[in-house]
Amino acid sequence: MKVNEDRFLKDLHDLREFGAAGVGKGVVRPAFSKDDVAARKWLATRMSEAGLTPHVDPVGNLFGLADGPSLLLGSHSDSQPEGGWLDGALGVIAALEVARASHEASGPKVSVVSFEDEEGRFGVTTGSAVWSGQLPLEEADELTDHAGVTFSAARACFAEMAGDFVDPTRFSGFIEMHIEQGPVLDTANEQIGVVSDIVGIRDMRITCDGQQNHAGTTPMHLRQDAFQALSAFNTAINTRFRNVVTPTTVWTIGHVTLHPNASSIVPGRATFSMQWRDAEVDRLDRLNTIIRETASEIAEKTGLRVRFGPMLGLDPVAMDMRLRTALEQAAKATAPEKWRVMPSGALHDATNVARLMPVAMLFVPSINGISHAFEEDTAEPDLVAGLHVLARAVSNLT
Ligand code: GLV
Ligand code: MN
Ligand code: MN
């Protein structure tokens, strides 16, 4: 098969037009937004032209199906609330190009997928989590975004075009190409990362209820200030985590809502996201215990009440050795001395798909290690190198 670099790059830039925003090549295309739906319709047309049958499932995952048994390639095409043009999109468009080139050359059968809500507007990799059975659809339907919209209401936008869930047994395996989203390859001036395993994640919403009151008349010692509780919680976990974490453990409070969020009102409620990631389930569990105990202690000491939302999470997974070896051989041939085996600190749909079939992943560098930001980018020769590694691996496998 002969992949067409120009056609691949053009499709990648065309996809960015849906939700193009911000500086550089930024994108705002959250799951189920107008731009996300329009991008999926555009992708479905590209799939048809590539000889694939487009199929949308009940949660908005878009497949381009080859006839009969096939290898599945792809990623996601939704974005963070402020995202880059390559996160997910790269893996989808590289998959499209490999499937198209293979179809033209009567090569191995390749299907393509763009999973929905990988970026977790509602959950954590919601579309692939439901498809894989990691998350029951009824539970997913109850999830809400930060504005209170339910997953069930959001996915209704696909109701007219959606068919059933795709039978996963038609696929022999799944390969996801992605940007690294960290500094390792860029710093080392390397082109390709072959993923060894993907870290695990836990994520939940925590709410502190205090007493809303006047910011001028309420003495400090009588306040039940929900923001002060959140601030104390953050300081306390940074200290208490110290004896448990490793240099690769990460944790983030990334979304905070204060109620009613006004300068002259002691906040009565703070709701915030608490997310933590690590390569070991045992450590994820120990951090969970610290989080709950710390929040409860602080609430008790200050007379506030604390509530924990549903805890979402995915365990760490290792990549399949046969698929990984095919990627390693392809990397060796395409980018000799400029590739490595490395773990993924970011989360990917591949984690869920591993419940259904063998999976593997490859990375290309992120300039300055930046992602989940408008500035996210990758040098063109690296994008193209990744495409060739993916195509070579597919050829090696069949
Ligand atoms: C996926 O986007 C992640 O948050 O790792
Ligand atoms: Mn991604
Ligand atoms: Mn992402």
* pLDDT tens digits for range 53-96: 999 999 999 999 999 999 999 999 999 999 999 999 999 999 99
- Residue 326 Cα, ligand 3 centroid: separation in angstroms? 25
Q: Separation of 173 CA from ligand 3 center, angstroms?
A: 22
CA of 356 to the centre of ligand 1 (A): 21
Q: Does position 368 have pLDDT exceeding 80, yes or no?
A: yes
Calculate the alpha carbon distances from 29 to 23, 26, 78, 115 in Å.
15, 10, 5, 13
Cα of 337 to ligand 1 centre, how many Å? 28
Q: Can you give the pLDDT at residue 286?
A: 98
Which residues neighbour 232 within 8 Å (Cβ) at sequence distance 6 or greater?
298, 302
Collapse the DSSP code of 306 into the 3-class scheme (helix H, G, I; strand E, B; otherwise coil) and give the result: strand
347 CB near ligand 1 (under 6 Å): yes
Dist. CA 82–CA 92, nearest whole Å: 19
Atom of ligand 1 nearest to the CA of 87: 2
Could you tell me the distance, in angstroms and rounded to a whole number, from the CA of residue 371 to the centre of ligand 2? Answer: 9
From the alpha carbon of 347, which atom of ligand 1 is closest?
Answer: 5
Please compute the mean of the pLDDT values over residues 117-131 and round it to a whole number: 97
pLDDT of res. 22: 86
Q: Residue of the nearest CA to atom 2 in ligand 1?
A: 119
Please calculate the CA angle 104-109-115 and round it to the nearest 5 degrees.
Answer: 105
Confidence band of 23 (pLDDT split at 50, 70, 90) = confident
Predicted pLDDT at 356: 98
Q: Among 250, 344, 347, say which to mutate for ligand 1: greatest number of ligand atoms within 8 Å of CB.
A: 347
Smallest CA-to-CA distance from 331 within 397, 391, 379, 398 is with 391
Share of the chain above pLDDT 70, in %: 100
- What is the atom index within ligand 1 of the atom nearest the CA of 348? 1
Is 86 close to ligand 1, i.e. is its CB under 6 Å away?
Answer: no
Distance CA 71, CA 73 (A): 7
Residue 292 is predicted with a pLDDT of 98
C-alpha 221 – ligand 3 centre gap (Å): 43
Query: How much is the average pLDDT of 167-191?
Result: 98
pLDDT at position 260 is: 98
287 lines ligand 1 (CB under 6 A): no
Q: What is the pLDDT of residue 24?
A: 85
Confidence band of 303 (pLDDT split at 50, 70, 90): very high
224 CA from centroid of ligand 3 (Å)? 36
Structure tokens at 23: 């500086």
pLDDT at res. 190: 98
Query: 398 pLDDT exceeds 80?
Result: no
Instruction: Give the closest residue to 154 by CA, choosing from 58, 227, 222.
Output: 58
Tell me what the pLDDT averaged over the chain comes to: 97
pTM of the complete model = 0.94
> Is the CB of 346 inside a 6 Å radius of any atom of ligand 1?
yes
Residue nearest to atom 1 of ligand 1 (CA): 347
* pLDDT per position as a tens digit, 132-165: 999 999 999 999 999 999 999 999 999 999 999 9
